[in-house]
Chains A and B, each alone.
Chain A
Amino acid sequence: MKPLVKTENLHTNFYTFEGAVKALNGVSIVVNQGETYALVGESGCGKSVTVRSMMRIVQSPGKIEDGRILIFFNEKDREQGIDILSRSEAFMESMRGNQISMIFQEASAALNPVLNISAQVGESFFAHRSSEMLALTETAIRAELPNTRFPLARAWKKFQIAMYERERADLEAYHVATTGFDDRLYAIEDSLDSETVREGSGIRRRRERLHKTSLLVRFVKRLPILSHYYRRVGRTVHNEVVELLTKLGIPNPQNIAERYPHELSGGMQQRIVIAMALACNPLMLIADEPTSNLDVTIQAQIVELIRTLKETVISSVLYITHDLGLVAEICDRVTVMYAGDTCETAAVTEIFDTPLHPYTKGLLSAVPKVEQQGELATIPGSVPNLVSPPQGCRFHPRCPHAMDICKVEKPQQIEYSQGHTVSCHLYTGRNSRT
């Protein structure tokens, strides 16, 4: 299994009025190419924070304090992947929505109420596939050129073509400048020399100040009449949007594209959000509890939609959920989290068959089963306060197997068997590898 995105020892804190909330306490997870991955846990255990850290959209007062986040998108990349925590914001902007997309829980809140669907889905196209859209429009205009006789119209079309080419060149230059995998940058990351580190931040800062397009293009776009040259591209994007909606099986796409978010049902809104996320054919889709707010029937449709898309368009899907049933049905591998720690990671079948971590066991036994009789099992106690979390293993106050060492030392992540890791002192002795 080749990894796609990997976090190593991620520490993220939120600096609030009441103190520093240590939301992530060294989270290490790996999402492989082509798999459906689940991140499971109670509310507040850090699942959302993890994925937001992965995309570097942690909201202030949050800050990623330690660790590495590695991506393995290209074959050309180094074996160890690229640590995106040292990349510029421009790099992240080109990655978000493009190679990694994320959909959130509340679809209605995720959509801007004053823009229509075409504009919002189209925004994804403009953000990352602008060059392609420009090329498409240009081809269309070129095809019309022989049939245009009227000199003013010919001149206008030639002007449009010229501007499109100019913009495409600009975008290309920008792309190279901000995402180019600079060998110098690699050398810098590996070195501990302060001189080279400063040079690295200098490179990064220079990249932050670049504009996507040249001054000429930006200027013309602001002029009163000439700026209309860009309208045609808008139409191209609109058509692409409609095509995308059709591909997603949304009925009546032309009509829907012109509507506003508040005119659509919850399920439809979520489908639009998915469309926005998929516009640029991302490698990985992160779904943060996408169905929690929807009816059960719509839930099923959405999940089915994502499953179909995974077979065709996306490579990996990362689900955040606390619905174990969903995990059992569609996911390949799962990580269980508790209070900012990863407890256990395994293939889905294996974790249901042989759960190792006491928390996992508690979680699974809490799910009501048909043949069960008597009281429902619960895990006693409550989720800890993350400003002053428990020492050692964060689960020890509620763990039925807590030992003395659990109160003092945080358990390391051990590989119990092939592909099955667990962080618990019960298994510290039993390494399948050293």
Chain B
Amino acid sequence: METEIMVEQPEAAAGHKGHRDMHPRLRELLFGLKRFISSPLSVIGLTIIVIFGLMALFAPIIEPPKTPNNPYMIPHTGWEMQPSPPSMTHPLGTLPQQYDILYGIVWGTRSAFVIGVAVVLANLIVGVFLGVLAGYFGGAFDEIIMRITDIFFAIPFLIMAMALVVVIGRGLGAIILVLVVLNWPQYTRIIRSEILIIRDREFVQAARASGASHLRIMFKHILPNTIYSVLILASLSVGATILNAAALSFLGLGSDLGYADWGQMVASARNWIVGPTGQPLAFWYLVFIPGFAIALFVLGWNLLGDAARDVFDPKQRRK
């Protein structure tokens, strides 16, 4: 029987040219990004967000503010209540009291971004912090935090939001605060359940046995494995947050008339839904345009979030 050891390395093992040499996590990322780009829906989502982003960034150039120290006040050309249809001076028409809709849309993009990102970021930080406390340390921490999340889950969202806003005072800041306060529990729950799965795995035990500090274990071992679900949740939440904020604005709890916020703009349309007899759609632009902006923006985020989930969901990766 032959027992010679052959040193010849099979050249066939090369496979994909350079990819084998990359750090495995980087390769996963590249793989994910490639899949991301190959899906038409995610490309559309990305395009939408990028367009809105550019609009937000270049707002001062596209629509220079009339009141430089408060650019969010939409300029108005008169005090007439009845909204004006699109014209040369107002390409998208005006709101009641002649506030320019185009200006509102452009600067409203900034408001939308601020709301979405701020709320989700804050939720993420608070939720993950509490979730890690509960999941990793367990015991009393876990019990108390879980009871609190149970209670928060049971609180009816809209009622609480409305009550809070009324109490604190209306305005966009109030809405942001309310959304932050009421939405963090879902993050806590998700990361806690992920941590519970990971916590008792061998590699964590091994790390602990070798004397690693809690902080080190958390950042190096636990978080990288559990953070995916939460990030997916976050990307899917931006859309929902903006919808909630718009709903609250619509109910009159947001900023005043004339502020560049899409939800507020739709709110101002409440009395002008149906036009005079014979011209029922006279004020279509009032309802349609700002609402369309909201829908499109949320759609973009949802497409992104969906694509992110398809790509990064540990359960669905790799076919």
- Check A385–B12 contact: CB distance below 8 A: yes
Complex contact B13–A382 (CB within 8 A): yes
Chain A to chain B: the 3 pairs with minimum beta-carbon distance, closest first = A397-B10, A384-B12, A365-B1
Bound: A385/B35 CA distance, A: 22
Task: Considering the complex, give the chain B residue whose CB is closest to the CB of A355.
Answer: B1
Cβ-closest chain A residue relative to B19: A18
Which of A's residues lie within 8 Å of B, judged by CB? 16-18, 61, 361-362, 365, 375, 377, 380-382, 384-385, 387-390, 397-398, 400
> Which of B1, B7, B9 has the most A CB atoms < 10 Å from its CB?
B1
Interchain nearest-CB distance for A14 vs B (Å): 10
Q: Are A361 and B2 in contact (CB under 8 A)?
A: yes
15 additional A-B residue pairs with CB within 8 Å, beyond A16-B319, A61-B319, A381-B9: A17-B31, A17-B319, A361-B1, A377-B3, A380-B5, A380-B8, A384-B13, A385-B14, A388-B12, A388-B14, A388-B15, A397-B8, A397-B12, A398-B6, A398-B10
Which residues of chain B have a CB within 8 Å of any CB of chain A?
A: 1-16, 31, 34-35, 319
Contacts of A61 in B (CB 8 A): 319
Contacts of B9 in A (CB 8 A): 381
In the complex, the chain B residue whose C-beta lies closest to that of A378 is B5
A365-B2 contact, Cβ under 8 Å, with A16-B319, A17-B31, A381-B8 = yes
Contact A17 B10 (CB under 8 A): no
Cβ contact within 8 Å between B2 and A397: no
Residues of the A chain whose Cβ atoms lie less than 8 Å from the Cβ of B7: 380
- Nearest residue (CB) in A for B4 is A400
Contacts of B15 in A (CB 8 A): 18, 385, 387-388
CA distance A397 to B16 in the complex (A): 18
A390 and B6 contacting across the interface, CB-CB below 8 Å: no
Closest to B16 in A: A18
How far apart are B32's CB and chain A's nearest CB, in angstroms? 11
Q: Using A17-B35, A361-B1 as known contacts, say yes or no to A400 and B10 having CB atoms under 8 A apart.
A: no
CB distance from B316 to the nearest CB of A (A): 13
In the bound assembly, the distance between CA atoms of A380 and B7 in angstroms comes to: 8
Q: If the complex has contacts A61-B319, A400-B6, are A389 and B12 also in contact, measured as CB distance less than 8 A?
A: yes
- Chain B: which residue is nearest A399 at the CB level? B6
Contact, CB under 8 Å: A381 / B3: no
- Of all chain A residues, the one with the shortest Cβ separation from B10 is A397
- B35 to chain A: which residues have CB within 8 Å? 17
Q: How far is B5's CA from A365's CA once the two chains are assembled, in angstroms?
A: 13
24 A-B residue pairings within 8 Å (CB atoms): A17-B31, A18-B16, A361-B1, A361-B2, A362-B2, A365-B1, A375-B3, A377-B3, A380-B7, A380-B8, A381-B6, A382-B10, A384-B10, A384-B13, A385-B13, A385-B15, A388-B12, A388-B15, A389-B12, A397-B8, A397-B10, A397-B11, A397-B12, A400-B2
Chain A nearest Cβ from B26, distance in angstroms: 16
Q: Which residues of B contact A397 (CB under 8 A)?
A: 8, 10-12
Shortest beta-carbon distance from A20 to chain B in Å: 13
Q: Which residue of A lies closest to B6 (CB)?
A: A380
In the assembled complex, which residues on chain B have CB atoms less than 8 Å from the CB atom of A365? 1-3
Chain B nearest CB from A245 CB (Å) reads 35
* A389: nearest chain-B partner, CB-CB: B12
**How far is A16 from B35 in the complex, measured between Cα atoms in Å?**
12
In angstroms, Cα B319 to Cα A61, docked, is 8
Complex CA distance for A74 and B1, rounded to whole angstroms = 45
Could you tell me the distance between the alpha carbons of A18 and B7 in the complex, rounded to whole angstroms? Answer: 28
The smallest C-beta distance from B7 to any residue of chain A, in angstroms, reads 8
Cα distance, A384 to B15, chains bound together (Å) = 9
Cα(A233)–Cα(B63), bound, Å: 76
Closest CB of chain A to B304's CB: distance in Å? 21
The complex places the Cα of A397 from the Cα of B13 at a distance, in Å, of 10
A381 to B11, CA, bound (A): 10
What A residues does B16 contact at CB under 8 A?
18
Among A361, A380, A390, the residue within 8 A (CB) of B12 is A390
Inside 8 A of B31's CB, which chain A residues have their CB?
Answer: 17
Residues of chain A lying within 8 A (CB to CB) of residue B4: 400
Set of chain B residues within 8 Å of A380, measured between Cβ atoms: 5-8
A372 to chain B minimum Cβ distance, whole angstroms, is 10
CA distance A384 to B13 in the complex (A): 6
Q: Which A-chain residue is minimally distant from B11 (CB atoms)?
A: A397
Query: For B34, what are the chain A residues with a Cβ–Cβ distance below 8 Å?
Result: 17
When C-beta atoms are compared, the residue in chain B nearest to A59 turns out to be: B319
CA distance A384 to B14 in the complex (A): 9
Measured in the bound complex, the distance between the Cα atoms of B1 and A361 in whole Å is 8
Residues on the B chain within 8 Å of A387, using CB: 15
**With A16-B319, A385-B15 in contact, do A390 and B1 touch (Cβ < 8 Å)?**
no
